[in-house]
Each structure stands twice: as structure tokens, then as C-alpha cells.
Amino acid sequence: MQHMANLNIPVAEREPAGAAHAKAAIEISDLSHVYAGAQGGVPALEDISMRVGSGRFVVIVGPSGCGKTSLLMMMAGLRAQSQGEIFCHGAPIRAPDPRRVGVIFQEASLFPWLSALDNIEFPLSLRGDPKDERRRRAEKMLELVGLGGFGERYPHELSGGMKQRVSIARGLVQDPPVLLMDEPFAALDEQTRMTMGHELLRIWSLTSKTVVFITHSLTEAVYLADEVLVMSARPGRIIDRIAIPLPRPRNYEMMATDVFGQLRERIWQQIRSDA
């Protein structure tokens, strides 16, 4: 641990001063999960405790199969954990609740039989909102993600980056305070990925959502996050919490700075020492 001190990087457990007393957007204490299986099952997640302050951008990184996607699915109420409770703005999450939590999945997972606008409207149509109200909101979201005028296109007529923009718009259309993102840009090429990350920060700054974001890319993690949580290999535990003190708005030049490199290195050390 000696070398850590030299880097002069604060270990973050706290939120910006103003938000310190606000109710956490996501609060998890002592969550564990065991997959059913032979010999009493396979432990997948162990003693997960975390707190995501309202309006914060938290990124979870960890090796493949560490259970980070499972953890996100639990936050979304799509999967049940064996033990522990997840609170979102003070109330437990036990089933999907699109009014509190929006999910953006790994691949765009847009419905190929619906146009971009109809895809964005889908969550609203499930709860039976009137047609013109739905259309108005969907068009607003499409503008927000920079795809105004592409509403009538079908997913197969859109590029990978555009599909993910539509997917983000779909996640935002119900205006949930929390956005969960499961490696949303993993399938994109490197340039598009960086552009989309930057775009996401722009959208985030306009909407003041709380974001929990999963990625494999350490560069992406440092670039996007207020705080990075590092998970261990299975059974997944949170082995480090790293505050990212880079100022906002972020820009590409920051990636070349020493601080950026040191932060990235620290995450890498954690993941490597665990492997």
C-alpha cells in the first residue's frame, strides 16, 4: 500500500459537500448471491455494500464473470439476490420499476420490428400513455441524443452508435432518476465508443441522472466516472473504491495527463493483484 500514498489520490467514500445529506440514489448493504447448483451452489457475489449519491456517475469494473452484470440486474429488479436488500431513494427494489430505474443493455437490443421513435415510445405505450403525448416525449428524447430526424428509421437502417443513442433515449423517456448501463458501448469500435462516452456525459450533464455504468474498459471508466468501484473475480466483492477527481466537463486531452494515467494504473493494479 506504500506506493498508493505517493500517487496522492483520495480514496472516495463521500459525495460532493452539497449532496452529503441527500438520500442515496442506490444503497446496498451486505448483498450476497449464490447460484443454485450442485454441492450447495456457486457463490457469485459476496458482501456487496455500496452507496451511490444522487446525481453521481459511478462505474463498476471487474474481470469477466465477476458478477457485475448480475449485480446491475438486481439493481434493476430483474433478478433476485439470495441475501441483502437494494434501496433506491429509500425504497427497496424487488421488481422492475421503470419510474425509478431505467436500464440500457449491452447490445442496443432495440426491437427490430419498431421504428426508432416507436422503440423510444415502447415504455410509455406499456403504461398506456396517450399517443400524441408519447410521440411528443419520444421526439424530445431523440433530439436530446442528437438523432432528430431519424425517428422513422428502423434499427437495421441505423449504425451501431446511433442504435445505442436510441437505446439511451428509450432509457430516458420515462425520466427515471437512476440509469443503469450494462456495457452499453462494448460492441462499438474504439472511436465510436469514445464519442459515445463523451455524448453520454453531455446528456448526463443535461439530465442530472444518477448513473451506474458497467464496463471492461479502464480508460472508459476513468473518463466517465465520479467514482470507480473495482470488483474481484468470482465470487465478486468490491475490492476498491477510487474517486476520480478530474474536473468536469471532461475532454479528450485529459486522457493524456499523468493523473489520468495514474488512476488507470491503480485500477489495473487492483484487478491484476486479484487475478
Residue 163 or 266: the one with the smaller Cβ distance to another protein is 163
By CB under 8 A, tell whether 96 contacts another protein: yes
What does the block give as the cell for 260?
A: 489520468
What does the block give as the cell for 165?
A: 443513442
Smallest separation (angstroms) from another protein to the CB of 76 = 6
Q: Is the Cβ–Cβ distance between 81 and 131 less than 8 Å?
A: no
Smallest separation (angstroms) from another protein to the CB of 238 = 24
Residues 110-149 that bind another protein (CB under 8 A): 111-113, 122-123, 126-127
Smallest separation (angstroms) from another protein to the CB of 243 = 30
Task: Please identify which residue in the block is written with the cell numbers 441522472.
Answer: 209
By CB under 8 A, tell whether 105 contacts another protein: yes
By CB under 8 A, tell whether 154 contacts another protein: yes
Strand ranges for the chain from DSSP E? 26-35, 42-52, 57-61, 83-88, 91-92, 101-104, 178-182, 210-215, 227-231, 238-243
Smallest separation (angstroms) from another protein to the CB of 98 = 5
Distances, alpha carbon 239 to alpha carbons 13, 49, 232, 233, in Å: 13, 11, 6, 10
Smallest separation (angstroms) from another protein to the CB of 107 = 7
By CB under 8 A, tell whether 37 contacts another protein: no
**Window 42-81: contact mask with another protein (x via CB under 8 A):** ----------------------------------x-x---
Give CA–CA dist 140/143, Å, rounded: 5
Residue 103 or 212: the one with the smaller Cβ distance to another protein is 103
What does the block give as the cell for 256?
A: 493524456
Give CA–CA dist 7/177, Å, rounded: 34
By CB under 8 A, tell whether 219 contacts another protein: no
How many amino acids of this chain bind another protein (CB under 8 A)?
A: 22
By CB under 8 A, tell whether 174 contacts another protein: yes
Number of residues in the chain? 275
175, 176, 178, 179 alpha-carbon torsion, rounded to 10°: -60
**Nearest of 185, 115, 197, 192 to residue 149 by alpha carbon:** 115
Per the rule left: phi > 0, alpha: psi between -120 and 50, beta: everything else, 248 is beta
Smallest separation (angstroms) from another protein to the CB of 91 = 15
Exactly one of 34, 35, 43, 107 binds another protein (CB under 8 A); which one?
107
By CB under 8 A, tell whether 97 contacts another protein: yes
Contact region for another protein (CB under 8 A) — 84-92, 96-104, 185-193, 212-220? Answer: 96-104
Smallest separation (angstroms) from another protein to the CB of 33 = 18
Q: Would you tell me which residues interact with another protein (CB under 8 A)? A: 76, 78, 96-98, 101-103, 105-107, 109, 111-113, 122-123, 126-127, 154, 156, 174
